[in-house]
Amino acid sequence: MDSVLLLSIAIVTISWLTWMIRKSRKEATSPLPPGPRGLPLIGNFPFIEPELHRYFSKLSGIYGPIFKLRMGKKIFVVLGSPSMAKEVLKDHDTTFANHYEMRAALVATYGGSDIVWSPYGSKWRKLRRVCIQELLNAGSLDASSGFRRQQVHQMLSDVYAKTGTPVDVGEKITQVIFNSMTNTLWGSTLKGGSDTGAAYEFRQVVAQIGTMIGLPNISDLFPVLARFDIMGVEHKMKGAISWFDRIFDTILDQRLKRDKDEEENENSIYKDQMDFLDILLKIKEQADPRTPLSMTEIKALLVDLVLGGVDTSSTTLEWGMAEMLHKPETIRKAQEELDAVVGKDNVIEDHHLSKLHYLDAVAKETLRLHPPNPFLIPHTPSETCVVGGYTIPKGSSVFVNLYAIQRDPSLWENPLEFKPERFLTPDNKWDYRGNDYNYFPFGSGRRICPGISLAERSLIYVLGSLLHSFDWSLPEGTKLNLSDKYLGVIKIANPIMAIPTPRLSNLELYALH
């Protein structure tokens, strides 16, 4: 018996050693991915073009579905095919489970105390569990629907007041998404209209933070120069997050005072209201002492939700409206469905959303053509790994070129055409779960976006409300400009101005209730 056991151990040991030797030889013999020549020390940094989504797609056409750029001390690897994406996000998911750390992002999230930039491990699993199981489950989203409804009705009232005059569609969308998000997070909005006040300043700070995180920073590429902060990114980010911090501290102080008053007052008006901050503070109070939720982590999660929920959703919605204005028959089809499901004597409610199949297809097609995060969030391997026959060194920054994949003519018929019908096939195989590497706008694997359910509701609810409540037309003599620009997310280069005309049968529906 002992000899059989020893023989088994020997076989397993020899097999493991053989596999390790073969693996090390494969890594040693696999070359780095191809890519353009760079300069000594600084690599390709001087040649980077500002419109990264087009620049990376151009290089994919030259070097193939995997290529590298040397950026100072760092190696950037860009993947531009479904098979390459699958290798990183599924086959080697654990190896690539960390996001590439950027100094601006770490400053913005209190040293990576959030779910996006926290390293893969027990802390990240705790934060993800909080988001998925507590904040973003169906029950919590249903309970907070009133906060979003209030802001959408405010938007409809504001647009109605502009009847017959050009409206900056992007501004209205950003305003309602921002107010809906802050209302959902802590039950109130900041004071200020579309062009003044704390709300406007907050939106500007959110946009500034997103841009600073999304653009290359010399401090990340040349760590020896980091202490000099040559581009001033860390200094600007510290100022922005300090502003955030003051807002959060004020909100937290008010909430803790309110909770104390609530304990003393059985008739408190807040007893039946539950926003995300209530949930987080309750988790903090009742948390397992082995995995406590700190106040810093609560603030960092609020930053994640504001940054991830406002800029990406508002950008997607603006693109959706722009594409539909460019192709008016899509507006007609959406309105026919809305009239059948909702009726002209009513406004959209949450229970209508699951029946709006064409509008769902519009949202999916918009995310295909215009993914707000065109490269997802860069991943970094925890160990040297071979992908597509090429070596990706430990610590590299890996970009998945979602923008190129979802516009690839070998994968999509007429890929540049806005065609929601492609998502209305009988098999209805396209979803947001990240299992099909031809279409995964929210990512895939362990680091898939945890806010998919909230984003899906917001996109259909806001877009449907705008189309159901109003007809839209371009000002006379104007032409729609669909050019874009990369600012961390891919935005429309010029504001979309359109004229609303009320279409509901009951004009009282445009009044606030």
Number of domains in the chain: 1
Tell me, yes or no, whether 228 lies in a domain: yes
Per the domain annotation, does 258 fall within a domain? yes
Give the phi and the psi of residue 93 in degrees, each rounded to 5.
-55, -45
The percentage of residues in the chain with a pLDDT greater than 90, rounded to a whole number, is 70
Average pLDDT, the chain: 89
* H-only helix segments in 327-451: 328-341, 357-369, 402-405
Please give the pLDDT value at position 17. Answer: 47
Both structure tokens of 358: 């064409």
Is the predicted pLDDT of residue 488 greater than 90, yes or no? no
Across the range 127-141, mean pLDDT stands at 91
Please indicate, yes or no, if residue 396 is contained in any of the structural domains.
yes
Task: Say if strands 98-99 and 379-380 run parallel, antiparallel, or are unpaired.
Answer: antiparallel
Domain-embedded: residue 49: yes
- Does the pLDDT value for residue 35 go beyond 90? yes
Residue 488 located in a structural domain: yes
Q: Quick one: angle between helices 328-341 and 452-469, nearest 10?
A: 100
Q: Which pLDDT score is estimated for 204?
A: 83
The answer for 231, left when phi > 0, alpha when psi is -120 to 50, beta otherwise, is alpha
Is 8 contained in some domain?
no
Instruction: Report the C-alpha gap between 92 and 381 in whole angstroms.
Output: 9
Helices 145-160 & 169-186, crossing angle to 10 degrees? 150
pLDDT computed for residue 49 by the predictor: 93
Q: What is the pLDDT of residue 99?
A: 96
HEC secondary structure over 154-178 = HHHHHHHCCCCCCEEHHHHHHHHHH
For 105, the 3-state DSSP assignment is helix
b/e code 345-365 from CB counts within 10 Å (16+ = b): eebbeeebbeebebbbbbbbb
**Rounded to 5 degrees, what are φ and ψ at 22?**
-60, -40
User: Residues 387-399: what's their mean pLDDT?
Assistant: 97
Residue 15: pLDDT over 80: no
Least confident of 1-10, 322-331, 335-344, 446-455: 1-10
Burial of 209 (0-12, 13-18, 19+ CB in 10 A): buried
Using the predicted structure, report yes or no on whether residue 7 has a pLDDT greater than 60.
no
Give the per-residue pLDDT at 199.
72
Give the separation between CA 294 and CA 281, rounded to whole angstroms.
9
pLDDT tens column, 65-108: 999 999 988 999 999 999 999 999 999 999 999 999 899 999 99
> Up-side HSE of residue 49: CA atoms within 13 Å toward CB?
10
What is the average per-residue pLDDT within 480-501? 93
Gap between the Cα atoms of 365 and 356, Å rounded: 14
Quick check: 244 and 208 in contact, CB under 8 A?
no
Q: According to the model, what pLDDT value does residue 10 have?
A: 47
How is residue 470 written in tokens?
């109003």
**Tokens 């994949």, located at residue:** 405
The answer for residues whose C-beta is within 8 angstroms of residue 307's C-beta and 6 or more apart is 108, 206, 209, 210, 213
pLDDT surpassing 90 at residue 357? yes
CA–CA separation, 46 and 60 (whole Å): 19
Q: Give the CATH number, domain containing residue 56.
A: 1.10.630.10
More confident residue, 127 or 201: 127
Residue 430 clears pLDDT 60, i.e. is over it: yes
pLDDT at 264 over 70: no
CB 253 within 8 A of CB 164: no
Confidence of residue 261 (pLDDT cuts 50, 70, 90): low
Do the domain assignments include residue 19?
A: no
DSSP reduced 3-state for 90: helix
pLDDT tens readout for residues 271-310? 455 789 999 998 888 877 767 899 999 999 999 999 888 9
Domain of residue 67 covers 30-510
pLDDT at residue 27, rounded to an integer: 47
Give a yes or no: residue 16 inside a domain. Answer: no
Residue 486 neighbours by CB under 8 Å, 6+ apart: 50, 51, 52, 53, 214, 374
Which of 111-120, 122-131, 215-224, 461-470 bottoms out in mean pLDDT, i.e. has the lowest?
215-224
Instruction: Check residue 191 and give its pLDDT.
Output: 58
How many Å apart are CA 476 and CA 498, to the nearest integer? 10
Q: How far apart are CA 90 and CA 83, in angstroms?
A: 10
pLDDT band for 22, please (50, 70, 90 cuts): low
Question: Is there a contact between 364 and 420 (Cβ–Cβ < 8 Å)?
Answer: yes
Strands 470-473 and 484-486: unpaired
Is the pLDDT reported for residue 421 higher than 90? yes
The DSSP bridge pattern shows strands 397-400 and 74-79 to be parallel
